[in-house]
Chain A
């Protein structure tokens, strides 16, 4: 069974005349061990989709199933626990707690869960993102790309069912972007990790197995990442013109 299933997902903001429909009846599966890129123009609902799927925003209607659990039936605490145990999250920026070192940031989810992570475990997680020697550094002493890799290590420490990434390369230069995307790709290929990534960068989307194009809150198009950045860019441009 796919680790993430969206069923008739709908999200509306506001009420009455000023109501905006950000997601309109979206039904999707994200199969295990695949990397999916979600693209679309601004306001297409791609971020809302990710927020709802990751359980940090509640849909107006429809269902989200993570590993078979329906999120709508969970209270705030249960949802938090599920997020902690089953979902990894990486954002564009502001991913780390600035007061904590890289190692402390990585072990944070386990500590929040009430367990005491072993030093080896944290070391291994940092080593996996190539930052074993940076465990004692604070975020301010790390480059943007390094911070993003620490965030990935943290997202992976609890061995989540799915890793959501919201514009993970949005604030990085192209070299750092390539390192981060390679890392995500390796997680999928090496460990069979399921990754869902929202991006507006066709080059980033080209790393994915599947590219979903959203427009006006609906699934507008779909293609394979293997088709390459240029093909993806052309399709997105077409969408922008249409909307």
Chain B
């Protein structure tokens, strides 16, 4: 009864907890729903085949998503014949593809939409107009592109722009040409689809197919065909998963932080009420249960709102995730009802856990405190608080020191660890720090004439709890904002420095609106081109990123280039496969053929690819390979590149934009994290200040009665709030600084290059300004209303 009534009555002081729990649960619900949803499913181009056979998987590696190596061409032919002979199978069709794109239509790197007409039998869609391609110059295209049969059409392929005549259209994605034309451009076979005779049971055919292919492939039917979703989609989902996991974790931390700080303050403000309850017969246990009861009310309501919001917002968030590139196109979230239920339970548990310390503290209130005026906080630091605070701060300091010596992987963890521990530690120690720090910093105020300065100083000093409770969320916001934004900038500028240092060229020609550069572009520019492909190394068939290079590579990268029948590999790859200079490396190519090549050189791991091959060799085995970049080494600018989907940029610009997509995702991810932490903690600031002001109405009355004009009263309050926020910001910077310096030091040592520490000042300033505005508004507006009421009364 009391819990419910109190939660209703004192909603301002519970607002921070409520919102924190609601937002936290909403984030966890959305993240979990998205994380647990299925992928994009079987691609449409294969969805028409009830039974699909897929080439065996290569060596799996965590966080690496590559397509399986294709079958050797002879083996693919054999399998197709064997499968075609199975009873009930009308046709066994190879799924082959090549790069094809009309200028202006978007396509992702690595995507290959050109296919032979025979493969159209596997698709879930069919001819929607015209007729199949009969001659080599004919093409069938997606009807959504708006081309009609008979039209002439330029299609970009790996060779360059090529003219086709549209013979028909399909109501699905893809560019279909004659099988003979496709054979010139397409790579190896990874999937064979079985078209069944009417009335055949797919399960029986699948069993027979399993017998036929044995260990040489995986037979998929029904829902298991979803495994054929593009590996690129899976990688995007994996990145999305990382983002969502980090978001959920940070939300949980911030929720516990906010709930415990708002509850601590709410309890501190209500010492007299607890004292009253104790005098009229409440046992300490009952008082503790009362606070837990309030946490339960806030938790149940907040988590309920959050769970509902999470379910409602999950589809919308999926849309933004797809737009942002964290989830593949066509991804749909599936609502599982136990997910919001579990998130709700988690939210309630977090609320109870966050209120735990406050509840213990409330139960220790003595009955006598009901009779005290208790404006001066006595003994805000307990032994336990000292011990935990110092331990957490120590751990944070250790993590900060660790960043100077850690590798790149551990660095991010250590920086986050340092931020969380230092924030928690300093927050716990705040009541002890507040008095000396505020006292020293505001000493000049005391000497100034006028009452405002004196009042500001003394108010902050005497109400240590109120001051600390406001400083804590500001500290957390600023520390996280500085760390997250600045840490990324440091890493990014380091990456750019590293790449620009490696290449010597006049300019770089890069793709524009296309996944890569065709032969036509490479021929026209006449520099050093990096023809991108994937090879599968050794017996396990681990996928390796490879580049086909011309002899000019030696000049551009100052590294040894492969000659015919040679390969150059990076040190990490060499170590993983046991390759050394002069030894033979076995590689499987995109067309499924295997070659034995001599290792000419081993390069260090800073190279942009893992394996370097002669350009002709890559072209011969991967007719659809595209160049990622052409470095122009001659002084004359490249001739016109219009219509080829390419543009020339300075080398430094290319170096900075090389990872542009990845950087964009990282930056977006950063902003999401900053927004979440900042948004949250600002709510905590507002809630704390709001309830602090509500509890000070009596003070305001006394000030007014002793002759202060309303303006002076408001000015005093606003000045106090500004001072507190400024202090919080300063402490937040102090928390972030050690980790940042450690990180810069670590990168400098790791790279051997000068690395400047770059702090994202606009963001930091924005976050501080936001806290300042919100806190001042939360102080002044209710105080003004209170003053008005006083005048009215």
Seen from chain A, the residues whose Cβ lies within 8 Å of a Cβ on chain B are: 47, 51, 54, 56-57, 76-77, 80-81, 83-85, 89, 91-92, 94-100, 104, 108-109, 111-113, 138, 154-155, 158, 166
Give the residues in chain A near B281, CB-CB below 8 Å.
80-81, 83-85, 109, 112-113, 158
Min CB–CB distance A87 → chain B (angstroms): 9
CA–CA, A89 and B368, complex, Å = 12
- Whether A84 pairs with B5 at a CB distance below 8 angstroms is no
Give the residues in chain A near B272, CB-CB below 8 Å.
94
Query: Which single member of B10, B278, B280, B366 contacts A99 (CB below 8 Å)?
Result: B10
- Whether B9 pairs with A98 at a CB distance below 8 angstroms is yes
Q: A99-B6, A100-B5 are in contact. Are A94 and B370 (CB under 8 A)?
A: yes
1/0 per residue, CB under 8 A from A, across B271-290: the answer is: 01100111111111110000
- Whether B279 pairs with A56 at a CB distance below 8 angstroms is yes
Q: A55's closest neighbor in chain B, by CB?
A: B367
Q: A56-B367, A97-B273 are in contact. Are A83 and B279 (CB under 8 A)?
A: yes
Q: A99-B9, A99-B10, A100-B5 are in contact. Are A56 and B280 (CB under 8 A)?
A: no
Min CB–CB distance A213 → chain B (angstroms): 22
Min CB–CB distance B683 → chain A (angstroms): 23
- New A-B contacts (16) at CB < 8 Å, excluding given A99-B6, A166-B371: A51-B371, A56-B279, A80-B282, A83-B280, A84-B280, A84-B281, A89-B279, A94-B272, A97-B273, A97-B276, A98-B9, A99-B9, A100-B1, A100-B2, A108-B280, A111-B1
Say if the beta carbon of B163 comes within 8 Å of chain A: no
- Whether B277 pairs with A97 at a CB distance below 8 angstroms is yes
Q: A101's closest neighbor in chain B, by CB?
A: B5
Give the residues in chain B near A54, CB-CB below 8 Å.
279
Q: B277's closest neighbor in chain A, by CB?
A: A97
Give the residues in chain B near A51, CB-CB below 8 Å.
368, 371
Say if the beta carbon of B664 comes within 8 Å of chain A: no
Min CB–CB distance A86 → chain B (angstroms): 10
- Whether A104 pairs with B5 at a CB distance below 8 angstroms is yes
- Which B1-54 residues sit within 8 Å CB-CB of chain A? 1-2, 5-6, 8-10
CA–CA, A85 and B280, complex, Å = 9
CA–CA, A103 and B276, complex, Å = 17
Contacts A/B (CB < 8 Å), 25 sampled: A51-B368, A56-B278, A56-B366, A56-B368, A76-B283, A76-B284, A77-B283, A84-B280, A92-B371, A94-B272, A95-B276, A96-B276, A97-B5, A98-B273, A99-B5, A99-B10, A100-B1, A108-B2, A109-B280, A112-B277, A112-B280, A112-B283, A112-B286, A138-B9, A154-B280
CA–CA, A227 and B37, complex, Å = 87
Q: A98's closest neighbor in chain B, by CB?
A: B9
Q: B9's closest neighbor in chain A, by CB?
A: A99
Q: A164's closest neighbor in chain B, by CB?
A: B279
CA–CA, A89 and B366, complex, Å = 15
Give the residues in chain B near A158, CB-CB below 8 Å.
281
Give the residues in chain A near B10, CB-CB below 8 Å.
99
Q: A57-B368, A91-B370, A94-B370 are in contact. Are A99 and B2 (CB under 8 A)?
A: yes
CA–CA, A56 and B280, complex, Å = 10
CA–CA, A13 and B549, complex, Å = 89
CA–CA, A89 and B279, complex, Å = 8
Q: A56-B367, A56-B368, A166-B371 are in contact. Are A97 and B279 (CB under 8 A)?
A: no
Give the residues in chain A near B366, CB-CB below 8 Å.
56
- Which B257-274 residues sit within 8 Å CB-CB of chain A? 272-273
- Which B353-371 residues sit within 8 Å CB-CB of chain A? 366-368, 370-371
Min CB–CB distance A76 → chain B (angstroms): 7
Query: Which single member of A85, A91, A104, A138 contacts B371 (CB below 8 Å)?
Result: A91
Give the residues in chain A near B277, CB-CB below 8 Å.
97, 108, 112
- Which B497-515 residues sit within 8 Å CB-CB of chain A? none
CA–CA, A111 and B282, complex, Å = 9
1/0 per residue, CB under 8 A from A, across B301-332: the answer is: 00000000000000000000000000000000
Min CB–CB distance B403 → chain A (angstroms): 48
Min CB–CB distance B274 → chain A (angstroms): 10
CA–CA, A56 and B367, complex, Å = 6
CA–CA, A158 and B371, complex, Å = 22
Min CB–CB distance A55 → chain B (angstroms): 8
Give the residues in chain A near B276, CB-CB below 8 Å.
94-97
CA–CA, A56 and B285, complex, Å = 17
CA–CA, A96 and B272, complex, Å = 10
In the A-B complex, list the 5 residue pairs whose CB atoms are closest, starting with the nearest: A84-B281, A99-B9, A56-B367, A99-B5, A99-B6
CA–CA, A167 and B553, complex, Å = 95
CA–CA, A112 and B278, complex, Å = 10
Give the residues in chain B near A109, CB-CB below 8 Å.
280-281
CA–CA, A113 and B370, complex, Å = 20
CA–CA, A87 and B5, complex, Å = 26
Give the residues in chain A near B284, CB-CB below 8 Å.
76-77, 80
CA–CA, A104 and B10, complex, Å = 17
Min CB–CB distance B271 → chain A (angstroms): 11
CA–CA, A57 and B1, complex, Å = 28
Min CB–CB distance B525 → chain A (angstroms): 77
CA–CA, A217 and B5, complex, Å = 42
- Whether B273 pairs with A80 at a CB distance below 8 angstroms is no
- Whether A112 pairs with B282 at a CB distance below 8 angstroms is yes
